[in-house]
Structure 1
Amino acid sequence: MPTSPSIIALGMESSANKIGVGIMAHNPVTNTSTVLANVRRTYVTPPGTGFLPKDTAKHHRSKVIELVKEALKVANLKVQDISCICFTKGPGMGGPLHVSALIARTLSLLWNIPLIGVNHCIGHIEMGRMITGAQNPVVLYVSGGNTQVIAYAEKRYQIFGETLDIAIGNCLDRFARIIGLSNDPSPGYNIEQCAKKGKKFVELPYTVKGMDMSFSGILAHLESTTKQTLKEYTIEDLCFSLQENLFAMLVEVTERAMAHVGAREVLIVGGVGCNERLQEMMGMMVKQRGGHLFATDESFCIDNGLMIAQAGLLQFKTGYVTPLKDTWCTQRFRTDSVLVTWRD
């Protein structure tokens, strides 16, 4: 258990199909953070289906209390040790978001502990920075609901490029449904494993518009042509080709952002950031520019409560607390709308 000077944050994340609770401790004397607990459950649906907000929220409600208890047990902490309770304020799916917000409010009132509402995207960024030690990277944030190229400037995480339609994770998930891949442990992971066996490249649409990307066209193309294409190519070939195409778009825009801000670091965060091929392609580009790539494994890339605890802890250190009347959730919460008070 941490010594007395530590600030200890309990974080809850429930914006999509994962419900997670994490506990982070920060020692202001040494200015170091320590991971105390990071527990999570995933709502998995049958192959060929997605996850609906109502059903996902029901799953999260059934798991969240046991996860809070589990996290406290893993961290060997008592309620009195917690300095603040952090929750995902947005963005995300409405029904699932409300689960962690409701439990956070309830525990805050029961335990008389301050609340911190956290931007989901900034949670990913600060978790990545803390785990990898990246100082001032261009951030590629890729997940089921978001695709953004970000860099820090003037107390904001500024968005330099983003998807114009669907997120890259959503594109991968929906393609997995088309070809009937399992959702266990995740559609994106199963596409990645199939792609490793692909041998032939299939020409697919490639859409980069300045600093922005579009993924709906490639998905629409696959929806209309996959059945015919599979007469000549395998499912593995299609997974390989889709990954190569999508990731090339990400690398192109990220490199342009690096050049614009003069960065030498790239940090990949978000669920899709676990993909080894994406990390390989991005690493090649960054190395050619004399820079360094930072990435994490699925423990920290995929949605988790620890990232919310870390971002909330940083806000709490600067004196920020979310009043009870402002602990509502929003499905749209821009990364660049948050004032980053904890960075120089």
Structure 2
Amino acid sequence: MEPTPPHSDAAPRKRARTDGKRCIAIGFEGSANKVGVGIVADDGTIFANVRKTYITPPGTGFLPQETARHHREHVLELAKQAFKIAHMTPNDIDVICFTKGPGIAAPLVSVAVVVRMLAQLWGKPIVGVNHCVAHIEMGRVVTRARNPVVLYVSGGNTQVIAFAQGRYRIFGETIDIAVGNCLDRFARILQLPNEPAPGWQIEQLAKQGKQFIELPYVVKGMDVSFSGLLSNISKRATEMLAAETATKADLCFSLQETVFAMLVEVTERAMAHCHSSEVLIVGGVACNERLQDMMRAMVTQRGGSLCAMDERFCIDNGAMIAYTGLLSFLQGQVTPIEQTTCTQRYRTDEVPITWRAGEVDEPGD
């Protein structure tokens, strides 16, 4: 993997190594069915970014305890692999970062326990990281987005976000299930494989769809709702497939077009409100090429630009945790070991974004 270039708008830093070398962090991610380890420098250079996904049989989801067991079995081997790729040892690391939340409790805790152990063995400080903020900062450093409206779409989260008054503010979000959860659950109904991901399977089938089936379109102000839409298409899928009035490809195509149109609508409204010319898409669903195409068409019509990434950085990974933890660490923030707990609910707007204190604080300025 080519090292990622430094972010051109990096904020002033309060902490630096006295030997003149870059600060380097190792990050551990394990909030859902992926466990990842990344090694990153404070200028945004990514030395290693490895992960392993817990895959279950078609038609099934992943259970918390089984996922936690998977993470415990693989996390140390991934750490060894990351050090080998980066040509480093624990002596080269300045800080260990981990996902504090949000996420699923058992997988989160399984990784946090490993991080506490390694921190004591290596004699390194710890920084707990908000998973959602990490997606945003990874997107900013990789795409060099300056101050975009952010669409965060994943299996557990759907939010429209912009930076204002020192925090990432949520302008709109799902009022029930996340868009990734909606896609995953429909993939289970169709008995699609979970490898590499159920959403990816839906995306590939959707490319073959020829018939658009009208589905409920639920946008409430800046918020979206997917649960009623999922119930509707799930019931109709059984009937239409049995009657051969639609194919699986038609259903996937119709689902994608509807939910993505909803997301583009609320994102455009946020752009107008914030006077922004940039949109950054982050999270696992951000890999979807159809979503990127629809968003790009909207942004281009507004004279703006779309900042998008591939699966290396969209999907949960350790590098995003390492980099965001470094941003906090360089501001003098360290998590005491007795506070290295995890929480399933950790809102994006709860985190003070101290490393952007010297920047303009309204999108579009």
On whether the aligned pair clears a TM of 0.5, the verdict is: yes
2:18 is the counterpart of 1:6: no
- The residue number in structure 1 matching 2:6 is none
Partners in 1 of 2:238 and 2:78 — Cα distance?
43
Alignment of 1:89-238 (within 5 A): 89-230=100-241, 231-238=244-251
2:33 is the counterpart of 1:17: yes
- The residue number in structure 2 matching 1:87 is 98
1:199-227 deviation per Cα after TM superposition (whole angstroms, max 9, x unaligned): 01001110000000000001111222211
Q: What is the deviation of 1:33? A: 2.1
Aligned residues: 338
- The residue number in structure 1 matching 2:303 is 290
State the AA in 1 paired with 2:209: G
Q: Give identity over the alignment, percent.
A: 64
Equivalent of 1:41 in 52, 74, 79? 52
RMSD between aligned residues: 1.0
Moved over 2 A (4+): none
Equivalent of 1:316 in 316, 320, 329? 329
1:178-211 deviation per Cα after TM superposition (whole angstroms, max 9, x unaligned): 0110000000000000000000100111000000
Q: What is the deviation of 1:100? A: 1.6
Partners in 2 of 1:72 and 1:288 — Cα distance?
45
TM-score (norm 2): 0.92
State the AA in 2 paired with 1:45: T
State the AA in 2 paired with 1:8: I
Partners in 1 of 2:318 and 2:327 — Cα distance?
15
Q: What is the deviation of 1:99? A: 1.6
TM-score (norm 1): 0.97
Q: What is the deviation of 1:238? A: 0.4
Partners in 2 of 1:209 and 1:33 — Cα distance?
38
Partners in 1 of 2:296 and 2:236 — Cα distance?
32
2:278 is the counterpart of 1:262: no
Partners in 2 of 1:251 and 1:331 — Cα distance?
27
Partners in 2 of 1:4 and 1:171 — Cα distance?
48
- The residue number in structure 2 matching 1:29 is none
2:266 is the counterpart of 1:253: yes
Equivalent of 1:332 in 340, 345, 348? 345
Partners in 1 of 2:87 and 2:208 — Cα distance?
44
Partners in 2 of 1:227 and 1:136 — Cα distance?
44
- Which ranges in structure 2 are unaligned for 5 or more consecutive residues? 4-18, 360-365
Say which SS state the counterpart of residue 33 (structure 1) adopts: coil
Alignment of 1:25-36 (within 5 A): 25-26=41-42, 32-36=43-47
Q: What is the deviation of 1:339? A: 0.3
Q: What is the deviation of 1:4? A: 5.1
- The residue number in structure 2 matching 1:276 is 289
- Which ranges in structure 1 are unaligned for 5 or more consecutive residues? 27-31
- The residue number in structure 1 matching 2:13 is none
State the AA in 2 paired with 1:276: E
